Amino acid sequence: MKAETAYYRIGGLVLRVDSALPFDLETDDMRDFRIGEAPADYVYRFQPCSNLPEVTGETRVVNEYPFGYDLLGKDGGHFRALGWKGRLYDVVVSLGADTGVISYLSEELMAERREAGFLFPNYLALEHLFYRFGGLFLHSSHVNMGGRALLFSAPSGTGKSTQADLWEKYAGGEIINGDRTLLRKKDGVWHAYGCPMCGTSGIHKQGCEPIHAIVMLSQGKENTVKRLTPGEAFQRIYPEVTVPRWNRELVLRAMELLDDVMARVPIYALSCTPDERAVTALRGVIGL
């Protein structure tokens, strides 16, 4: 089958994907980020094979997903292994210095994944890649407020989507992503970028705005706002950062990036009600 090529712009980077698979395997979460041909910052290659690459030495599972595993070899080698229909794995993802290779055994199994709703970004391991380029993913709703980004972060079920909806309804905001935000510097300023991963929100748009504030949410009977010290902010925000905590190098990189975010971006705690009063209270403090 003739290889096809597609280009995507995510987080300010151009990603090129070369594949012998038809691009109807691409899911809606990626189509919003599709662009025309452009010089690539990183290349992914989908590669059929009869024997999957292996990590040398004894391997152990260090992270488990509904769709597969991250495995680590005794020699420190790492790969993402994706299983399907009872197989331990039939796809291996390996990120090189400038090329990521997605090796797969069966085009039929890849097609079945697509029909079952498997998300295309899971093949790309973007959370690993972007640490190389100074970016990190935050579990947060991302609202564009007239060219400034307002981010709501909290554990699942706290009310990120509710607060984002309220700011869209009562303050004229636009929700860029309902669950995940890519943070990366542009011209020395931390920006919030739209990204394909969006949890169950279904909202994944292109976007790039300087971050006005990050708001850590909790539920309350009244609305109170407090600006957090760096120490307080770190305790609240670090659990919401997507980082492979078994990878010491990436953990240290995440902490380094977070230190810079906390030094340059205001971070607030908002105990809030699920109504317009929360918008009024926060708006009075952060000035949007």
> What pLDDT, in 10s, does the model give residues 115-144?
887 888 888 999 889 999 999 999 999 999
Predicted TM-score (pTM) of the model is 0.91
pLDDT cut 70: percent of the chain above it: 92
- Per-residue model confidence as pLDDT tens digits over 208-262: 999 999 999 999 999 999 999 999 999 999 999 999 888 888 899 999 999 999 9
Rounded Cα distance between 39 and 53, Å, is 29
Q: What is the mean pLDDT of the chain?
A: 89
> Cα–Cα distances in Å, from 190 out to 65, 129, 148, 243, 270?
30, 18, 11, 18, 21
Q: What is the pLDDT of residue 180?
A: 96
- 1-5: Cβ within 8 A, 24+ apart: 5/37
Rounded Cα distance between 116 and 127, Å, is 23
Q: Give residue 67's pLDDT band: very low, low, confident or very high (50, 70, 90).
A: confident
> Cα–Cα distances in Å, from 133 out to 43, 44, 165, 186, 258?
14, 16, 31, 11, 14
